[in-house]
Structure 1
Amino acid sequence: MVAFGAMQLTTGEEKLPSLLLGFAKLMLLWKLLPDGKDSVFYNIHTRRAKHPQQFKDDVQALFSLLKAGKLKPAVADRLPLDQAAEAHRRIDSAAVLGKIVLVNEH
């Protein structure tokens, strides 16, 4: 199982206490399942700082999966790099479903 993101925090739709309660419930319920599976939190920022080589290996693995067509990221739009401010406005307004890719056209 993979869970990521906290967009609702940035849009004001959810507050930190309710998000943390949701994660706590999820972790508790997941551990009660008798299937022998485990769960962990993966924070990309702390992972990069604490385990730089493992982080590098993880990123390389992700790019390999992407290249092989096994990952299908949700790309909402591709914008020229000089429209980065517009991309941020759209992200801040929660008007984007997916990622915005900034493209250097030079």
Structure 2
Amino acid sequence: MLWGLVHLALHLPGRPNDGLPGVPTVFQLIGLSVLITWFFIQGGKSVVLTSLFHAAQSFFVIVNDGITLSQQVWLMAAVWSAAAVMVVIASRSMQGSARQKLG
């Protein structure tokens, strides 16, 4: 929750996301929360791994230089949300197959 509030502050006047829609930011933060939590757990609770992932996602702003900032926010929201859904599905599938082996 605190992480979301810190990032939503980027929408204040004079900040990098000033004037951008807040809805894609919320979806982006939810997707990133799922992914960063997954990296943290799968990486043996490594803060370094999650920090590297955060830095990598911040780099995408540079890579997406050819589109408007508004398009970037929506694109990142779609990508991170889709990736989060895939991680959840894959994790459940792996848990299900592990349970079958135990049973």
Structure number with higher helix proportion:
2
Normalising by structure 2, report the TM-score: 0.30
Where relative contact order (Cα < 8 A, 6+ residues apart) is larger, the structure is 2
Structure number with higher strand proportion:
1
Normalising by structure 1, report the TM-score: 0.30
Larger radius of gyration: 1
